[in-house]
Copies of this chain bind each other. A is one copy, B any other.
Amino acid sequence: MTLDVTPELLGRSAVSNCRSNAGEYQNCVGCGIRRFAVCGALAENELPEIEAIVQTRRYEPRQTIFQEGDTAHAIYTITGGTVRLQRDLPDGRRQVIGFAVPGDFIGLSLEESFTFSADMLTKGTICAFDRTKFTGLLTKKPALMHRLHAIASHELGIAQEQMVLLGRRRADERVAAFLMSWGQRMRHPNGVAVTLPLPMGRQDIADYLGLTIETVSRTLSRFFKERILLDVPHGVRVLDPERLRAVVV
């Protein structure tokens, strides 16, 4: 048994992300994103054990999944749609911690309460695992535990990269870096002009990048004018990936 996680395992398929009406899975066997999710650590004959503790839920845009401080009765795997994760300051300032897409796991820490809130940006479907039962299953399935740790480690690396972005990058670098990383999660090959769906609003991007909505808007406008990007409804088309990459350095 190895603890290494291949990029493929942690990546997401373009298919699962890009179809907005994804996530109609009646059972784990037929689940298209299983191999990208925690459940992928289990063999097919073990799936009934996880099906026993899972509940599929359907969400509407703007619906809250849980809030900071809530007791973590359940932990989640996203199977369809995009989720916004955020922390709030008492005075209204907000930091978006990340965006979760199909295959992503929420509640890695297994702790009793959540330290951030989660809201749907789009319609979506989510597998909710009873937290206590899930941790119980972990003690019986080392492979699941290993996978969970690999995912947590991967998230930690992403968080550190985000610290560099927030601490040391300029506004245009932040926006470019965001678009590149979002593009990678959408599984579009680098170096090719592609259309990126952006299910989050400008304010969400701003709160993710530690900027204001005006700065994000201005920066994108500049990229549009410079023909690095093309403005399309609910997204952008990357016209010049090379120059976009060059912005980040």
In the complex, whether A213 has a CB less than 8 A from a CB of chain B is no
- Indicate if A243 sits at the interface (CB-CB under 8 A): no
B115-A157 in contact (CB<8A):
yes
Assess whether A26 is interfacial by the CB under 8 Å rule.
Answer: no
Q: How far is the CB of A132 from chain B (nearest CB, A)?
A: 10
CA separation between A1 and B142, bound complex, in Å? 13
A105 to chain B, nearest CB (A): 12
Q: Which of the segments A34-42, A163-171, A215-223 contacts the partner chain? A: A163-171
Q: Which one of B2, B108, B135 lies within 8 Å of A156 (CB-CB)?
A: B108
The number of chain A residues touching the other chain, given as a range, is 35 or more
* CB-CB under 8 A for A160 and B209, given A110-B4, A168-B93: no
Of the residues B155, B157, B210, contact of A166 by C-beta under 8 Å: B210
A64 part of interface (Cβ distance < 8 Å): no
- Give every chain B residue within 8 A of A142 (Cβ-Cβ): 139, 142, 145
Protomer copies: 2
Q: Is A20 an interface residue (CB 8 A)?
A: no
A185 within 8 Å of B by Cβ? no
Contact string, A75-96, partner B, CB cutoff 8 A, digits 1/0?
A: 0000000000001011101110
Q: Which residue on chain B has the smallest CB distance to residue A143?
A: B139
Q: A87-B164, A89-B164, A95-B167 in contact; A139/B1 too (CB < 8 A)?
A: yes
Name, among A91, A111, A135, A149, the residue most crowded by chain B CB atoms within 10 Å (CB to CB). Answer: A149
Q: A3-B135, A109-B153, A168-B207 are in contact. List 12 more A-B contacts (CB 8 A).
A: A4-B110, A87-B161, A89-B168, A89-B249, A90-B249, A110-B153, A111-B153, A115-B157, A142-B142, A149-B149, A159-B162, A168-B210
In the complex, the 6 A-B pairs of residues with the closest C-beta atoms, listed nearest first: A167-B210, A109-B153, A159-B159, A166-B166, A95-B164, A149-B149
